[in-house]
Amino acid sequence: MSVRLTPEALSDVKDARSWYADRDVDLSNHFVASFESVLQNLAAHPEVYPVAYRQVRRALLRGFPYCVFYVLEPEGPLVLGCFHARRSPSAWRRRAGA
Flag whether 86 is in a domain. yes
Indicate the number of domains in the chain: 1
Strands 4-5 and 76-84: parallel
Range of the domain at 34: 4-91
Domain with residue 68: its CATH number is 3.30.2310.20
The pLDDT tens digits along the chain (98 residues) read: 799 999 999 999 999 999 999 999 999 999 999 999 999 999 999 999 999 988 999 999 999 999 999 999 999 999 999 999 887 777 777 777 75
Q: What is the DSSP string of the chain?
A: ---EE-HHHHHHHHHHHHHHHHH-HHHHHHHHHHHHHHHHHHHH-TTSSPEEETTEEEEEPTTSSEEEEEEEETTEEEEEEEEETTS-HHHHHHHTT-
Q: Please indicate, yes or no, if residue 53 is contained in any of the structural domains.
A: yes
- Give domain status of residue 22, yes or no: yes
pTM of this prediction?
0.90
